[in-house]
Amino acid sequence: MTSTNLLGVPETLLPPEPDVLEAIHSGLPLVEIVTVHPTSSLAWALLSDETSEAGRDLEAYAYARVGYHRGLDSLRKAGWRGQGPVPWSHEPNRGVLRALYALRRGAAAIGEEPEVERLTTFLTDADPAAVAAIEAE
């Protein structure tokens, strides 16, 4: 059963990415994973996280931007029309939400405050629990 939000917009539930998860768990370098799986927002988000942790903010922002756009493509392919829930509880959605979070972090690092605000709204509208869940990992 698909639940809906108060506006009646159905949840968007992305399909799983077993090949991407297998590659991530195998320990392959993230650069190799995004080369083999360039449509995976999860792989791009993780690459952004890795470069951010290394202090390469602009590069991390760029990787997150790719993950964000790949995520929008995936959401639209799954029926999303620019609004509605994208629940963190559905594990395949986490890549898109992590890419949004990474882009928000990158935007903050380079001083793009309007983008930070827009992405905060996007994340909160997608799933109010997503930011806390990502930060808890």
Q: Hey, is 11 helix, strand or coil?
A: coil
pLDDT of residue 53: 98
Beta-ladder partners of 4: 10
Closest to 137 measured CA to CA, from 49, 19, 39: 49
pTM: 0.93
Mean pLDDT of the 59-76 span: 98
Give residue 62's Cα distance to chain centre: 13
Residue 93: which domain range? 18-136
pLDDT of residue 81: 93
Buried b / exposed e over 60-76, threshold 16 CB at 10 Å, is bbbbbbbbbebbbebbe
- HSE-up (13 A, CA, CB side) for residue 20: 22
* Confidence grade of residue 6 (pLDDT, cut at 50, 70, 90): low
> pLDDT tens across 69-115, in order?
999 999 999 999 999 999 999 999 999 999 999 999 999 999 999 99
Closest to 115 measured CA to CA, from 76, 81, 64: 64
* Confidence grade of residue 61 (pLDDT, cut at 50, 70, 90): very high
- Is 77 a domain residue? yes
Mean pLDDT of the 20-41 span: 98
- Is 11 a domain residue? no
- Is 7 a domain residue? no
Report the CATH number at residue 114. 1.25.40
Question: How many structural domains comprise the chain?
Answer: 1
